[in-house]
Amino acid sequence: MADGSQFSAGTAALIDEEVKRITAESETEAKRILSEHRDQLEIIAQALLKYETLSGAEIDALLRGEELQREGAVDDMAAARRLFRGSLIRGLPSLRASHGAKGY
């Protein structure tokens, strides 16, 4: 990680080892948190598949065990895929125009 231009080889090695240690500890902690709250993660994931976006208030409601009732819910994965493909295809011309691309 350290390029060695500002540090000796020994110092660079120490920095690299510390970064690796911090990264490994952070990964372990993230996995622990996700495992510990897997049920909440699943609730939010299912709601995102159904609604695509969630507000902070909606996430709070879901975590309190409340059902969300709003328009625009996607009832199944096939419908979600069709919706996604349709929005992607409709968005391509504007994407091309906004980036000045001719051969997208």
Cβ atoms of residues 68 and 51 within 8 Å: yes
Helix ranges (H only) for 64-103 are 77-99
Instruction: Measure CA 83 to chain center.
Output: 20
Q: Which string of b and e fits 6-31 if b means at least 16 CB within 10 Å?
A: eeeeeebeeeeeeeeeeeeeeeeeee
Residues 53-79 pLDDT 10s: 999 999 999 999 999 988 755 556 666
Helix ranges (H only) for the chain are 9-36, 38-51, 56-63, 77-99
pLDDT of residue 23 exceeding 80: yes
At 70 the pLDDT is 81
